[in-house]
Chain A
Amino acid sequence: MLGKLDLSAFIHGPIETVAQLSVVFGVVVVVGLLSYYKAWGWLWREYLTSLDAKKIGIMYIALSFVMLARGAVDAFMMRTQQAIEVGANSGFLSPDHYAQVFTAHGVIMIFFVAMPFMFGLINLIVPLQIGAKDVAYPFLNSMSFWLTVVGAVLINLSLVVGEFAATGWLAYPPLSELQFSPGVGVDYYIWALQIAGVGTLISGINFLVTITTMRLKDMSWMKMPIFVWTVFGAMILVIFAFPILTGTLGLLSLDRIAGFHFFTTDLGGSAMMYVNLIWAWGHPEVYILILPAFGIFSEIVPTFSQKRLFGYTSMVVATLAIVFLSFIVWVHHFFTMGAGADVNAFFGIMTMAIAIPTGVKVFNWLFTMFRGRILFKTPMLWFMGFLTTFVLGGATGVLLAVPGADFQLHNSLFLVAHFHNMIIGGVLFGFFAGFVYWFPKIFGFMLNERLGVYAFWCWIVGFVLAFIPLYILGLMGMTRRLYEVSPQFHPLLVVAGVGAAVIALGMFFQVLQLVVSIWQRKENPAGDNPWNGTHLEWQTSSPPPFDPERSNDGVMVGILAGLFGFAMIWQIWWLAVIGLVGVLAVLIARSFQHHEHS
């Protein structure tokens, strides 16, 4: 009746129980507060069921902040474990729990922090910047959001019922096969990503169509703001990359549920096939995240240099070059798999070639600052933080792209430092910059500048302290994903732990900044154009008019898809059928309603 689900799924060790209880406690507090302030109706009408892209954007960002807190707790647990684990002290995490933590950290940060943050900013700004009333398919937009929420809910649910994958964030087989991971952890992984991934794919189509067909009449392609261009590039990548993820996870789940042999060790399965497929998605995914961040900086640098963007055409060409190149570099994630020298050298050189358009972008930003009048407001500070860290990350990336060097650096903490360098210094700083830059537009009041500056300095100092030691540790020969380490690595791990604490302080200032700014919102009205921005979004009021259109069906699809996912994880087949048929029924019923939106 309930498949693999029984009471033992709720019983955990002491540390896991803390996590379990905090999820339950968090849900109870939120539900309690909403009930106490009788806010359910307001929330339901104004946000949860809204079809307005800006409202959906706000919800995406809220989701991403909640998940950022979760992902950060995972990071702090890892840093603490490695910093206190020395001599007789074996730390506070068991090897299996440690593995679940680093797996969840990676999955959450990429899929449920970076992606929703990105789609949040896209939803808020792209329609405004191209002068469109909304996106092409407002209902599908709402549905995409709810599918993303389902993925996030399933991952957090794994803390309460059952366990999460202990395989690393890409769940390489054969470790992720039933033979080596018999629990439901990998199934949580598969279905959380599968459902969220479908949402992402639909969003990709939605924004590609929106940008292509809904621009103002006199906005030709070469008049589009660079942010819109980079989003366009990212959406092309979504459309070509995400079906591969869907397919690959589908094959893995067939192996696990139905005993197929795609990636198993026996009967001809090939784990190398999985590694190729997952990176054919995974590499474009990285550029899906970074391109919009590049776009955000291309908005911010001219605004705060009080000058026009230098080299618009170069920027567009560079963006498209990155889109193209990102599909022919995936093998650089596994030079050490034993492919021939020709193959490795080709993919290495293609990887380096990405440095060319990226380098051009850096020069264009620099020469936008040249002969400008630079105002160092928080968005511009985030840009400076980005530029100084990203150039370093780019250089270490080129180093890793040389196969001969990668043989030594692969899977070491040098690699871990490199991609955090790109994703924190590049993606996250970019999204933070966009958030502070556009916040006044969407909410009509300014964010507290001083607390923003504090947050920025904590992040940048914390980043350097937390990740420069990892570069050195990698060169010393320390591999990733170790719950216990050799004593010679210990001093630098303590430094990295301190860095993580400083980042935590930065996050504290960000929360404080939000609270204080909301508290003092009356005193700090934004006006329509607080930064003297030049693009269309600054021509409308702050906040811009919201569309009252709403539909309950997005939430319905989300709930039913969530039931379906949960049922697939625990193999409760009748519930899976109900979930799937339910989703179909909602969509078919919609086609019979008369409405303007599809």
Chain B
Amino acid sequence: MNTHNNNTTFGFWVYLMSDCVLFAALFATYAVLQTQTFGGPGASELFDLNFVLTETLILLTSSFTVGLATIFSLEHKKRATLVALATTFILGLSFVGMEVFEFTHLIAEGSGPSANAFLSSFFVLVGTHGAHVTAGLIWMFVVMLHVMRGSVGNKLYTLSLFWHFLDIVWIFIFTFVYLFGALAL
């Protein structure tokens, strides 16, 4: 059973590596296409840095709370684990909510993904991350059920790996897309 758990963890690391490659491809696409605004507004005109900074803080906090959940789970504190997970869930949901708000706002302004190649690549890069977070939320819900049943095993550990990974990807998105975009670098 022990080797099996190690296998799962190792396999999950390998999966994260392959996911990194996916994001690398999307980052490369964004880097190539970000100047292709075709006369439309560019990154510095479109993005509100304060809004994104709030999103970032929420996601970073959720990474901290999922870490707490892992620690509580190792100490077999079922209730504390659940509370930490629920907090993470709410934070993650707020993040996704804010992203959806940002997207709908942009689309309403006429800067949707079909406007030009720059916006296509922006929506897909950020949206793929958002889709990962959403998948993570579904998974988190399932893990919470497992915690209640006491059958969690190493599921919480792999989930937290995933969550931290998404955090790191987001830091890159925040830096390269929003920060450099706002500074017009």
Contact = CB atoms under 8 A, between A and B. Distances in A.
Contact of B7 (A136, A251, A255, A267): A136
A261 B120 contact: yes
Interface string A235-264: 000011111101110110011001111101
A392 to B, nearest CB: 34
Interface string A187-214: 0000000000000010011101100111
Given A267-B115, A268-B33, A270-B33, A209 B7 contact: yes
A258 B124 CA distance: 12
A267 B4 contact: no
Interface string B24-45: 0110110011001110000000
Contact of B120 (A205, A214, A262, A598): A262
Interface stretch (B9-17, B84-92, B169-177): B9-17
Contact of B18 (A243, A277, A588, A591): A243
A521 to B, nearest CB: 37
Interface residues of A, number: 43
Given A262-B33, A270-B33, A273-B29, A240 B18 contact: yes
Given A213-B3, A268-B33, A262 B117 contact: yes
Name A's interface SS. helix
A268 B40 CA distance: 11
Interface string A149-170: 0000000000000000000000
B83 to A, nearest CB: 22
A239 B36 contact: no
A592 interface: yes
B57 interface: no
B120 A260 contact: yes
Contact count band on B: 35 or more
B46 interface: no
A267 B35 CA distance: 11
B22 A137 contact: no
Contact of B14 (A239, A255, A268, A273): A239
A515 interface: no
Contact of A261 (B10, B19, B117, B149): B117
Contacts of B3: 213
Interface of B: 3-4, 6-8, 10-11, 14-15, 17-19, 21-22, 25-26, 28-29, 32-33, 36-38, 113-118, 120-121, 123-124, 138, 142, 145-146, 149, 151, 155
Given A205-B14, A213-B7, 14 more contacts: A136-B11, A204-B18, A205-B15, A242-B18, A250-B124, A254-B113, A254-B124, A255-B120, A264-B117, A267-B115, A268-B33, A273-B32, A277-B29, A592-B146
16 contacts: A205-B15, A206-B11, A209-B11, A243-B18, A243-B22, A247-B29, A259-B113, A260-B120, A262-B124, A267-B114, A267-B117, A268-B33, A269-B36, A270-B117, A588-B142, A596-B4
